[in-house]
Amino acid sequence: MAHVLVVEDDHANARLFELILTRVGGFSVTVTEDAAEVMERAGNGSVDLVMMDVSLSNTEYDGKFVDGIDLSRLLKAMQIAKDIPIVLTTAHALHGDRERFLKESGADEYISKPIEDNLKLVNLVNRLVNRSKAA
Amino acid sequence: MVANLMKSWISRSKVSGRFWTAGWVVVSIILLVGFYLRGDMLLLILLGAVLGAGGAIALQHKGFGLAAGLADQANPPGGSVDLPLSMVEYIQAVDTRLATNERQMEMEREEARRIAYELERLTDTVRRAATSDNVLALVKDIFAQSVDSYGAVIAELWLEEVWKSALGQTVHNRAVQLVQTPRGKPAVLMAAHGVEQGELSTSHSRGAPVLGVIDSSYRLTACDEQSLGWLFDRTWLASRNIRSFASFPLTIRGECIGAFAIFSKDILSDVFLGVLECCAQVLAMALADQRSLLDSRQITSRLEAANARQHEINNHLAETDRLKSEFLCTVSHELRTPLNGILGFLGLLRDGLAKDAQEQAEFVKNAYSSAEHLLTLIDDVLSLSEIEAGWAGLNLDGIDVVTSVESALQRFQKKAATKGLHLLATCSANPRALCDAARLDQILDKLLDNAIRFTPKGVVEVTVDEDGPMCRIEVRDTGVGIDPDLQSNLLGKFQQVDGSTKRRYSGTGLGLTLTRSLVQLMGGAVHLESAGKNLGTTVSIKLPLTPSGLTGLHPEWQGEAPFVLVLEDDIVAGTYLVRLLGKAGYRTTLIQDVEAARVCIRDNHPDLLCMDWKLSEDDKLEGTSGLVKEIYQSPETLPIVVVTGHEALASAFFEQENLSPEPPILMKPIDAGYFLRVVMDLTAPEHEKAA
């Protein structure tokens, strides 16, 4: 059973992702907005995929405020975590946002909020987890 | 008989005595010989004798003529010298005559040299005037020349007041005096040599008569004692050793702009008067050049200012554009976030993913609160758009502010308690504001919501008091505060302190913008203050108090109410004025640009123009000053009241343009009661106004 780390600052949204991923996808889920916890979990090999919110209002790392883009970059720079697939989840869904965010963060995929199809999200997670495990 | 005839002829020909006697002897001998011979020979001999006598007389006459010629040479023609009788005397006379001629020629040569020198100096002056733009130096040169060459004791340059700027400053600060010229224009003594300030008031109180006596062209010369004495006080002239005076006009294209005058200890000759007149003309030309140079500089600096302004506008437009994109981005994000909650939880319910009834209730509650949040956002965006489009409804009434504040506090009590904040109100007055109750609630909600959102711990306090004609409501918190650098931006549209994805606080950034628009819509003002980051924030708003007996119409108005044209490009401020006037019973129309106002004045004949004043600050009202001038020149009376944030600019304009009477100028935010009194006064029936 794949383990998904949900990084999300909005409680309602976090709860929603948790429900979709567990009930629809049958994954196990951890929700956090704490940068240190993200680093630790990704570093100890317990995470198969990260769902990363772009706008983070309360997340600090190394004394600085960081957003989902910064966190993704940090993870991709870690030798041990660089192969963990990252899906950006964001309500920033204007033209060009998808390309810009993927390029800046080094993340693997991008999903805009609101989530229109729960199954599609689950399929995406499965595909990315399987691909990374095959590699 | 013949001898007698001869004698009389000879005497007539003024022959001298000796020759007379000799002639007589010859004639007598011939007569004696003739009588002796008798016969045919007698007549022949007689004829010969007569011819001989005539020849002798002719010879004697020739010698006389030679002597007379010599005498002529010793006696020079036209001279008073007596005919010298001796040769020595004669030569002496010739010498004296030659020496006198020599002296005269030398004097004439000297005079010619001086004139040549003066002309050369004049040429120099002209050259300097043509090559240098330093008029002051030129004036000093000409003064020095006047002193050196023409014995000037006093030299003066007078300029009509409008030409003062061309010289830039006075050469002698001590010697500045203003006189009325014959044409009524004031002239200023711009430069003087040899005059002290004290002297001006006494001797040159005669300076004024001097320019008064001089004809309208300023030209006057007085090079003899009599006319000088007639112009000036003889004692003063004697004390300064002045023997002549000359004043020359400075003319530019036929217009006289002042005078150059000198008082000299010499008698000025015609030639030097001519040179001085030339100097005056050179000076006039130099002044004209200087002025056109100054004018062109002014035009250049105006152009530069216009360019800078254009640049500023461009920057502003670029900044507005950037803020708009940022806003679109933010609004899109903020709308999608609650939608995610709504759709997501409803989707889970639809798909039967709730485990039990309790979870079902939780999903519904989550979806519902997200929908509520979305509604607030949509309300904010719509309210702002409505206000900016000028469609905002505004029901002005006397509102009990304290009651409104207390009920707002009740609405937020629970939210504050959840964060552990103290929420309290201190009311030191019980004001009635002239505003819209629903809009005031909206404002208080925004302010309290913001204060609670941005305050992690501590106190949110609301105070109510009165400040002059305004009611003041302050919301003070102990929250995150605002960096001083960012404070000025914050009331701008769609601004949150941090526009990036790392913002610590959610919200559209519309709260304060909406608050400001709402407050302005009700004729008030917002002020935001924070000592700095983490030092809390105070937002204070001022709203006009309700004027006692809110009726603007004069009791004697019968029939149709007066018609007020409101010219205001800011739709929010304009809406307020229109609503306020409407509340007081006036008919109104709101017009946002000058050209439309001009048409309305022409076609609808308003009873009053209530106008904003911005001058070049805003393109839409660029022509306000022009419109005002037209109104003052028009034979029809249209009273004006100016309501502006640029009180000083407006006031300075009316003073500069000399437009009177100056209209009432009210500073924004206005005192509603005073404004309505002014409007009532200006629209009162004619007989009331006169009283």
Q: What is the pLDDT of residues B157-172, one digit of tens each?
A: 877 767 766 665 544 4
Alpha-carbon distance A29 to A15, whole Å?
A: 10
Q: Which residue has the higher pLDDT, A106 or B50?
A: A106
Tell me the mean pLDDT in the region B399-413: 93
pLDDT at B85: 64
What SS3 class is residue A111?
strand
10-residue stretch averages of pLDDT, chain A, 135 residues long: 91 91 94 93 92 85 86 93 93 86 93 90 94 85
What SS3 class is residue B566?
strand
pLDDT at residue B54 tops 80: no
- B507 to chain A: closest CA residue: A57
Q: What is the number of other CB atoms lying within 10 angstroms of the CB of residue B584?
A: 21
CB A12 within 8 Å of CB B370: yes
- Helix B2-12 × helix B17-37 angle, to 10°: 160
pTM (two decimals): 0.52
Partner residue facing A91 (CB), from B337, B344, B353 = B337
Mean pLDDT check: name the lowest of A17-26, B42-51, B102-111, B575-584.
B42-51
- Mutation to test the A interface, candidates B327, B330, B333, most A Cβ within 10 Å: B333
- B501 to chain A: closest CA residue: A55
Distance between B321 CA and the closest CA of chain A, angstroms: 16
Distance between B434 CA and the closest CA of chain A, angstroms: 40
pLDDT at B83: 53
CB B187 within 8 Å of CB B207: no
Q: Which residue has the higher pLDDT, A117 or B510?
A: A117
Taking contacts as CB-CB distances below 8 angstroms, the residues of chain A near B496 are none
Q: Which residue has the higher pLDDT, B164 or B68?
A: B164
Partner residue facing A113 (CB), from B337, B366, B502 = B337
Partner residue facing B502 (CB), from A13, A56, A113 = A56
pLDDT at B71: 42
- B368 to chain A: closest CA residue: A12
- B363 to chain A: closest CA residue: A16
Q: What is the number of other CB atoms lying within 10 angstroms of the CB of residue A20?
A: 25
Q: Which residues contact B642 (CB under 8 A, 6 or more apart)?
A: B611, B612, B613, B650, B663, B664, B665, B666
Q: CA nearest B564: which of B593, B592, B590?
A: B590
pLDDT at residue B196 tops 60: no
Q: What is the pLDDT of residues B527-547, one digit of tens each?
A: 888 887 778 889 999 999 888
φ, ψ of residue B181 to 5 degrees: the values are: -85, 170
Tell me the mean pLDDT in the region B128-146: 77
Taking contacts as CB-CB distances below 8 angstroms, the residues of chain A near B345 are 12, 16
Q: Going by DSSP bridges, is the β-strand pair A3-7/A49-53 parallel, antiparallel, or unpaired?
A: parallel
- Mutation to test the A interface, candidates B502, B503, B506, most A Cβ within 10 Å: B502
Q: What is the pLDDT of residues A12-48, one digit of tens each?
A: 889 999 999 999 999 999 999 999 999 999 999 899 9
Burial class (CB in 10 A: 0-12, 13-18, 19+), B668: middle
Partner residue facing A65 (CB), from B329, B366, B502 = B502
Q: Which residues contact A87 (CB under 8 A, 6 or more apart)?
A: A49, A50, A51, A52, A107, A108, A109, A110, A111, A124, A125, A128
Alpha-carbon distance B143 to B124, whole Å?
A: 14
Residue B503 pLDDT grade (very low, low, confident, very high; cuts 50, 70, 90): very low
Residue B496 pLDDT grade (very low, low, confident, very high; cuts 50, 70, 90): very low
Distances (CA, A) of B110 to B115, B150, B274, B590: 9, 16, 18, 85
* CA B108 to the chain's CA centroid: 53
Asked if B336 has any chain A CB less than 8 Å from its own CB, the reply is yes
Q: Which residues contact B12 (CB under 8 A, 6 or more apart)?
A: none
Taking contacts as CB-CB distances below 8 angstroms, the residues of chain A near B505 are 57
Alpha-carbon distance B384 to B391, whole Å?
A: 10
pLDDT at B273: 83
Q: Which residue has the higher pLDDT, B181 or B29?
A: B29
pLDDT at residue B683 tops 80: yes
Taking contacts as CB-CB distances below 8 angstroms, the residues of chain A near B348 are 16, 19-20, 23, 118
Q: Which residue has the higher pLDDT, B114 or B346?
A: B346
Mean pLDDT check: name the lowest of A126-135, B29-38, B57-66, B119-128.
B57-66
pLDDT at B493: 46
Residue B239 pLDDT grade (very low, low, confident, very high; cuts 50, 70, 90): confident
Residue B509 pLDDT grade (very low, low, confident, very high; cuts 50, 70, 90): low
Tell me the mean pLDDT in the region B177-192: 54
Mean pLDDT check: name the lowest of A54-58, A105-109, B201-205, B683-687.
B201-205
Alpha-carbon distance A70 to B325, whole Å?
A: 23
pLDDT at residue B178 tops 90: no
Q: What is the pLDDT of residues B315-339, one digit of tens each?
A: 888 877 887 777 778 778 888 888 9
Residue B195 pLDDT grade (very low, low, confident, very high; cuts 50, 70, 90): low
Q: Provide the Cα torsion B219, B223, B229, B232; round to 10°.
A: 40
Taking contacts as CB-CB distances below 8 angstroms, the residues of chain A near B370 are 12
pLDDT at residue B429 tops 50: yes
Distance between B449 CA and the closest CA of chain A, angstroms: 18
Unique residue bearing structure tokens 């002045």: B242
Q: Which residue has the higher pLDDT, B72 or B432?
A: B432
Alpha-carbon distance B283 to B287, whole Å?
A: 6
CB atoms B337 and A13 under 8 Å: yes
Tell me the mean pLDDT in the region B129-144: 77
Q: What is the number of other CB atoms lying within 10 angstroms of the CB of residue A37?
A: 13
Partner residue facing B506 (CB), from A15, A16, A57 = A57
User: pLDDT above 70 covers what percent of chain B?
Assistant: 70
φ, ψ of residue B201 to 5 degrees: the values are: -70, -25
Mean pLDDT of chain B: 76
Q: How many A×B Cβ pairs under 8 Å?
A: 86
Asked if B347 has any chain A CB less than 8 Å from its own CB, the reply is yes
Tell me the mean pLDDT in the region B6-11: 48
Tell me the mean pLDDT in the region B452-460: 89
CB B167 within 8 Å of CB B155: no
Q: Which residue has the higher pLDDT, A74 or B629?
A: A74
Residue B213 pLDDT grade (very low, low, confident, very high; cuts 50, 70, 90): very low
pLDDT at B198: 47
CB B521 within 8 Å of CB B387: yes
Strands (E), chain A: 3-7, 28-32, 49-53, 60-61, 64-65, 86-90, 109-112
Residue B215 pLDDT grade (very low, low, confident, very high; cuts 50, 70, 90): very low
Tell me the mean pLDDT in the region B82-106: 82
pLDDT at A49: 96
Q: Which residue has the higher pLDDT, B426 or B494?
A: B426
Partner residue facing A93 (CB), from B332, B345, B500 = B332
CB B409 within 8 Å of CB B485: no
Q: Going by DSSP bridges, is the β-strand pair B640-644/B665-667 parallel, antiparallel, or unpaired?
A: parallel
Q: Which residue has the higher pLDDT, B461 or B495?
A: B461
Q: Side chain identity at B260, as an amino acid letter?
A: F
Residue B200 pLDDT grade (very low, low, confident, very high; cuts 50, 70, 90): very low
- Helix B270-350 × helix B357-389 angle, to 10°: 160
